[in-house]
A = this chain, B = another copy of it.
């Protein structure tokens, strides 16, 4: 079954696109955790960063170039932002299609939350 991101890329589910090319798309997260919260997603349905092959690495690099440019166009580059890529359960990955969170527009707190103690 296609993930929700594949359906968004295919235009079957609406999203607010900020960037779109053959390899990489970007759209706003529908549950933003900060004033700017954009998802940068490869069009190729790679499940996680652990599934990325060496041949896929240039696309990962391009995701970061797209994120850098969107941070500028969203006006958060100067004050700063956070780029997060979650992998599987412990990382808190919610959609099994590789994606990068671009989060900014306010001072951000800890990188891994403060609500969960180590096991």
Interface residues of A (CB under 8 A from B): 33-35, 48-50, 52, 54, 57-58, 60-62, 64-65, 67-68, 71-72, 76-93, 101, 103-116, 118-119
**Copies per complex of this chain:** 2
CB-nearest residue of chain B to A71: B50
- Are B104 and A108 neighbours in the complex by a CB distance under 8 Å? no
Interchain CB contact (< 8 A) of A33 among B62, B91, B111: B111
CB-nearest residue of chain B to A58: B61
- Are B89 and A68 neighbours in the complex by a CB distance under 8 Å? no
A35 to chain B, nearest CB (A): 7
Q: Which of A48, A92, A119 has its CB near the most chain B CB atoms (within 10 A)? A: A92
- Are B83 and A90 neighbours in the complex by a CB distance under 8 Å? no
Given A58-B58, A106-B119, A108-B116: A64 in contact with B90 (beta carbons within 8 A): no
